[in-house]
Structure 1
Amino acid sequence: MLSESGISQIKEAIKEGVDQKFIAGANLLIYKEGKEVFYHEEGYADLNTGKPIKRDTIFRLYSMSKPVTAAAVMILMERGKIDLYDPVSKYLEGFQNQKVEQDGKLVAVEREATIRDLLFMTAGLVYGGNDRAGKETEALFLEINEKLLGEKPLETVEIMNRLGKCTLSFQPGASWQYGTSADVLGAVVEVVSKKRYGEFLRDELFLPLGMKDTGFWVTPDKQDRLAVTYEEDKKAGLIPYYGNHLGINNRMDREPAFESGGAGLVSTVDDYIRFATMLIQRGTYDNFQLLRPKTVEYLTTGTLNMLQQKNFDLWQNLGYSYGNLMRIMTDTTKAGTLVSAGEYGWDGWLGPYFSNCPKDKLSYLFMIQKTNAGTTPLTRRLRNIILSSCCD
């Protein structure tokens, strides 16, 4: 159970974040041993109208879409449809004959990028940057955004085949870099399953788990539940953000041609906790088995090698390793927050955050909508309160 002092501290911390205009609003949901022990909402889904955050408020997940994509890949792996050591080019021809920039020159890859490289972010793919790989990737996403709402928007597999022709930042397997790997995996799932990626997720994960508000867009009857996105302005404080980022339509008001496995999903706290609970219960939810226990064990214990780990440590993730599109706590002595060994999860560009702590039989979600947020200082404060008052 969550202590009374812990409850008071959580409410105070979130209220302070709203009052100081660090965030517009948030909700937090905590499960212990598969059951809800605490829920709290604070602040606004829309500052302009005064609409409050509610339990059914819909949030853009951005990179918190990635663990869902990893689970989709595990389903195909269990069924023998893919091998994690398959070259990506087996499914996406654009990944044939890739090039890497080394010392200002383009050279051939020493080996092809694999599905496993995508799951571990070791394929040499990036989101952007000043090198050739970064500039080419940014140019592609700029084109996606420019055509996003037009008559001929770019589609998932088409985009990923073009991405495969972009220069790699490093030789596959040689390092770690956060990038577009999960988007590529979404396209791989689409090719293998012969379904649109969103259809596969609906049939294999969302419907079995009862995740009725999760998907790649928000239907008209639910649009009023979608939280407004905010960005921080030094003078004005929080102001609405209406931009389309990473090929995602901010309004989420139409079915997208590009279903981004790395950033495209929306969800609610009650929906996503079902996914998190399925994982912490070793693949089972409500007596329905989506993944085998051994598969979940693999999914949540991946680690980087020493060379790859070097780059990941720079992300303020000391104590964590990375694998299957999630952080995994491997050394609590290096951690910057209270945490148990084996904790895993991820966050998103707009600040939604999920954590599973198998050792403590604990799951929690913190949902906000603020650009460039990721894991905020407020998020770290909350996890310290939760771990100190719920894991005695």
Structure 2
Amino acid sequence: MTLDKDRLERVRGWAQRYVDARTFAGLSVLILQDGDEVFFDARGLRDLESEAPFERDTVVRLYSMTKPITSLALMTLVEEGHLHLDAPLSRFLPEFAAPQALIPGASHLDQVAPCAVPTLHQLLTHRSGLSYAFNPGLVPAEMAARDLTFAPRAGTLAEGCRRLAELPLAFAPGTRWEYSVGIDVIGRVIEVVTGQSLAEVFQQRIFDPLGMSETGFVVAENQADRFATLYTPLPGDAMDLNATATEGDSLRFVDGPSGSPFLDPTCLSGGGGLVGTIDDYARFAEAMRRGGQGIVSRATAAFMMRNHLPGDIAALGPSSFAEQPMRGVGFGIGGAVVLNAGISGVPGSVGDFSWGGMASTFFWIDPVHDLTTVMFTQLSPSSATPARAELKALVHGALM
């Protein structure tokens, strides 16, 4: 099937409605089919105060769309025989050598029992027992109290992992699915194995080969005047994925180009630290769609985009937030995999591989129709709108 250009024009009207409603300050959408650009649109503002337009070269915070890139970097090391996915985390980070997990029904952090060391595979697929500070539960609450967020200025990646190891796991590895900082920890494993910083690994193994010159952990000097402002509809914490907006300004300022922690980060977060442009991210997504494009083999790319869970995410009893639906959707190495679009309730193809970020960014690869779609905006939290599901429906509605 090919994309009908007249039907794709609906995307522009949809995007304008979000801008007119002051839900998004600005956004862009890029769609490729068979590697050829078939649609691009950018509208609204990247900064309300200066009225600077949201353009094709606007630089955004990728947040969790960093995770698939970190996962790809680890798989290059797997291909080279430096490690294997069932290796215990403690082989690389000794601080995780004697973990304990909360017992089922625990009401205090000291109600724990010894458990197995999580494997790299469990970290990659969010089954390690680690969590996020914004999730419900005892461990997330303690993470929030200790500011264990792997935010840009939250110490170094090595320090964050050492502090994380002081806490119990939220559950025994392998028994549940819970969105977590596991891929931040994978970033540290990559550093230990290579003897390089995560930034150096990304540059050499992914960014340079793919021509991703606008992506990195730091907003470069030549990007500062193109860096978008981050907004939130929430009156409180913009990173509270479980909160709901109240009356008032729908676009409250969170972080702008001046003084942003992304100008001089100390923590190279493999789970959420990258900034970049829409064309750069499309290069990464297209490399995956094309079978690794030499970064990894075609077989390894296909392995990454398969479901690595025994069923869908919902079957593993998650109580956490996720960037995707949980019913009818599995999880691969670095992203979600559609198993049954009918059960998920979102139009799509079996095998769609995707993920999103805290600031409502989103990408997906459709292997059935050879599509790559990337959407950029800067509104946190991503749970504030149904934009991702709507965009998938719009694109599917143009397949004729």
TM-score if structure 1 supplies the norm length?
Answer: 0.91
Q: Which amino acid in 1 is paired with 2:317?
A: N
1:1-392 alignment to 2 at 5 Å?
Answer: 1-102=2-103, 103-104=105-106, 105-128=110-133, 129=135, 131-141=137-147, 148=153, 154-233=155-234, 234-242=247-255, 250-254=260-264, 256-284=265-293, 289-306=294-311, 309-312=315-318, 315=322, 316-374=325-383, 376-389=385-398, 391-392=399-400
Offset, 1:136: 2.7
Tell whether the 8 Å contact from 1:218 to 1:252 is kept in structure 2 after alignment: yes
CA–CA distance in structure 1, aligned partners of residues 40 and 157 of structure 2? 36
Tell whether the 8 Å contact from 1:42 to 1:52 is kept in structure 2 after alignment: yes
Tell whether the 8 Å contact from 1:58 to 1:267 is kept in structure 2 after alignment: yes
CA–CA distance in structure 2, aligned partners of residues 160 and 293 of structure 1? 32
Q: Which amino acid in 1 is paired with 2:252?
A: I
- Aligned pair in 2 of structure 1 residues 87, 310: CA closer, same or farther (>3 Å)? closer
- Aligned pair in 2 of structure 1 residues 143, 216: CA closer, same or farther (>3 Å)? closer
Deviations 1:61-119 (A, max 9, x none): 11111111110111010001111011001111121111111143533433210000001
3-state SS, counterpart of residue 230 of structure 1:
strand
3-state SS, counterpart of residue 348 of structure 2:
coil
CA–CA distance in structure 2, aligned partners of residues 250 and 114 of structure 1? 35
Tell whether the 8 Å contact from 2:329 to 2:336 is kept in structure 1 after alignment: yes
Offset, 1:9: 0.8
3-state SS, counterpart of residue 66 of structure 1:
helix
Tell whether the 8 Å contact from 1:351 to 1:373 is kept in structure 2 after alignment: yes
CA–CA distance in structure 2, aligned partners of residues 327 and 134 of structure 1? 22
Offset, 1:338: 1.2
3-state SS, counterpart of residue 18 of structure 2:
helix
Q: CA RMSD in A?
A: 2.2
Larger proportion of helix: 1
CA–CA distance in structure 2, aligned partners of residues 108 and 160 of structure 1? 21
Offset, 1:302: 2.5
Percent of matched pairs sharing the same residue: 29
3-state SS, counterpart of residue 146 of structure 2:
helix
TM-score if structure 2 supplies the norm length?
Answer: 0.89
Offset, 1:279: 0.3
Tell whether the 8 Å contact from 1:140 to 1:163 is kept in structure 2 after alignment: no
Offset, 1:348: 0.5
- Aligned pair in 2 of structure 1 residues 307, 106: CA closer, same or farther (>3 Å)? farther
Unaligned runs of at least 5 residues, structure 1:
244-248
Tell whether the 8 Å contact from 1:66 to 1:262 is kept in structure 2 after alignment: yes
Deviates more, 1:186-195 or 1:305-314: 305-314
Tell whether the 8 Å contact from 2:44 to 2:53 is kept in structure 1 after alignment: yes
Tell whether the 8 Å contact from 1:312 to 1:321 is kept in structure 2 after alignment: no
CA–CA distance in structure 2, aligned partners of residues 75 and 357 of structure 1? 23
Deviations 1:135-184 (A, max 9, x none): 33223335866x93xxxx62112211221221111000010000110100
Count of aligned positions = 377
Q: Which amino acid in 1 is paired with 2:392?
A: R
